[in-house]
Amino acid sequence: MFLLDVLDQTIKKLKSQTANVITLTNLSLGGFAIVFGLHGNLRLSLLLIFIAALADRFDGMIARKFNIESELGKQLDSMSDIISFGVAPALLLYQGILHEFGGPGSFFTVFYIGCGAFRLARFNITESNGYFTGLPITAAGCLVTLSFLAIPYIPSQTFLFIIIILSFLMVSPFKLKKV
């Protein structure tokens, strides 16, 4: 019986951490996206960011389904999101086109990351009422990442505009219904 109790407790502990493992997968994918982006493998970086978005979608769903939501999970999710949807997409777009603008390209890359961090911090200290305040960083990061694919087709100044607009949308006070 002792062995069965230990096994049962182990399974319960593993189950309780399932969402956090998926969240850490999100973070890892974002980290690898950054590393590959720094080494010039921008297409792989793009792919990893989109896979991170899938992981981000599922971690919360699993936490709610198994009733394993926690304050740790909420904080860990935000830490992962700033890597996967703040730093990684900003670096991807910087490496892809924004570096051509010198100082302004660097400034707005970091500005985007700062706005994303602010948005996540605000999210973590407010009550969930069925609405997001401002554009979620996951959506902004996916849009930045998606815009990378348009580099050969639209004027380069457009990308400065995109990153500035998305930065302001993340910190703006508009409400967006959660789905």
Q: Write down the pLDDT at residue 66.
A: 86
Q: Write down the pLDDT at residue 4.
A: 75
pTM for this model (two decimals): 0.91
Q: Write down the pLDDT at residue 97.
A: 98
For 134-155, b/e burial (b = at least 16 CB within 10 A) is bbbbbbbbbbbbebbeeeeeee
CA distance 39 to 24: 23
CA distance 135 to 97: 23
For residue 131, give the H/E element and its range: strand 131-133
Q: In the predicted model, is pLDDT for residue 125 greater than 80?
A: yes
Q: Write down the pLDDT at residue 71.
A: 87
Question: What would the two tokens of residue 106 be?
Answer: 């660097």
Domains: count for the chain? 1
The CATH number covering residue 9 comes to: 1.20.120.1760
Q: In the predicted model, is pLDDT for residue 126 greater than 80?
A: yes
Q: Write down the pLDDT at residue 1.
A: 61
Name the pLDDT band for 5 (thresholds 50, 70, 90). Answer: confident
Residue range(s) defining the domain that contains residue 145: 2-177
